[in-house]
Amino acid sequence: MVGNPGGEPRPRGPAHPRPRGPAPAPQRVSLYHRAVPPGLPPPVRLPERIRAFLERPHVASVGTTGADGTPHQAIAWYRLERDGRILLNSRSPRRWPADLLRDGRVSLAVLDGADPMRWVGMAGVVETVIDDVEAARDDICALAVRYDDADPATLAAFRTQPRISFRVRITAAHDHLGDA
């Protein structure tokens, strides 16, 4: 500090020094009610055999792309919505949700646990981000019921976690269900 005519010390260096350390995270606005972004590929209409398969509580392999182009996969619970979108939910922060926030393209592979050679593959794009923590917690609790993991301790734990949900528009689908 150096003195000034008013007697108060003044800081050395630029008038607005650059903060040290990582930049603060950008403020996020809840996108729960966001309209469909323009320019998304059109959704596909899922055949009934694929819908019937996806309505069962299988797990999905979620494929995303990192900022450097590296592929990444994770396993997640999902739910097929009535309108044909897929709901995904994750604890925050994790890599695959961060990837989807940066680049909304996703691939999904849903395998039949009893016969992993029966599966459905899908490509999609994030249509809606639910970053309202309470709404996302409601989503994970509903998924816990779907996957028969809704004991009180599990639900209570989910209610304390930072969560995020994604609604994915399916843009391509293929199956290896053996009945087509």
Report pLDDT for 121.
Answer: 98
Mean pLDDT on 48-62: 97
Q: For the chain, give the percent of residues with pLDDT over 90.
A: 72
The percentage of the chain sitting over the pLDDT mark of 70, rounded to a whole number, equals 78
Segment 66-88 mean pLDDT: 96
- For residue 153, being part of any structural domain is answered with no
Flag whether 15 is in a domain.
no
Does 28 map to a domain?
Answer: no
Domains held by the chain: number: 1
Domain span at 57: 48-132+166-176
Is 5 within the bounds of a domain? no
Asked if residue 78 is part of any domain, the answer here is yes
Q: Is residue 60 part of a domain?
A: yes
- Lowest pLDDT segment from 23-27, 78-82, 87-91: 23-27
The one-letter code for the residue type at 83 is D
Whether residue 15 is predicted with pLDDT greater than 60 in this model: the reply is no
pLDDT at 61 over 60: yes
Q: What is the CATH number of the domain that holds 75?
A: 2.30.110.10
Give a yes or no: residue 81 inside a domain.
Answer: yes
Mean pLDDT in residue range 20-26: 36
